[in-house]
Amino acid sequence: MDTKRKGAFTFRAAAVLFVLSAMLEFVVWRTEVPLFGAIRGGLVASAYHLLYATLYVILGVGLWSAQRWTYAVVLATTAVYTVDKLQTMFLSRDVIVERLMQEIAGSPELLQVVNRESMLQMVLLVSVTFIACWWGFAWYTHLRRDYFKPGTRHSS
C-alpha cells in the first residue's frame, strides 16, 4: 500500500524556502559580513555567501526529493550555522553594534531610544533566536527521519 510520509509538506515547504534563501545569498553576494571580530568584504564575503548558497541549494534539493543524505546535511548545516552565529555573538558583536550605531547616527531621535547596550542585547537575542530555530528544525528532522528512508511516496 502506498502511504504518504509524515512531514512531506513541511520538508517540501522548507526546500522551497532554502532555495529562495540561496537565491538571496546570490543577490547579496558582495555584502560585507561579520567574521572573527571584523566586518569583512571582498573575496571573503563572497566566499561566505557562496558557502551558504551552496548549503541551502543542497538542503533544498535533498529535502524536496527526500534523499537519504539530507538528514546528515541538515545536522551539518545546523552545526555550521551555529558556529557562525556563535562567532558573531562572541567575536563580532561589538563591530556589528558599532556599524548599527553609525547607521542610526543620522536619526538623533532614534538614538534617544536605542543605546549601545540595548543594541547589544538585540544582536544577542536575534542570534540566539536564529540558532534555536535551526536546532528546532534539526530536531523536527530527527523526529521525521523516516521521511528520508526509501520506499514511501512523497506527495504533499
Given a contact cutoff of 8 angstroms between Cβ atoms, the answer to whether 100 and 85 are in contact is no
Reported pTM = 0.84
Mean predicted confidence (pLDDT) in 113-138: 89
- Strand boundaries in 11-67, DSSP class E: 33-35, 38-40
Half-sphere exposure of 58 (CA within 13 A, CB side): 16
How many angstroms separate the CA atoms of 20 and 86, rounded?
24
In this predicted structure, the answer to whether residue 108 has a pLDDT above a threshold of 80 is no
What band does 19 get if pLDDT is binned at 50, 70 and 90?
very high
Q: What percent of the chain has pLDDT over 90?
A: 62
How many angstroms separate the CA atoms of 113 and 135, rounded?
33
How many angstroms separate the CA atoms of 59 and 132, rounded?
18
Angle at 51 between CA 127 and CA 89, to 5 degrees: 20
Given a contact cutoff of 8 angstroms between Cβ atoms, the answer to whether 74 and 138 are in contact is yes
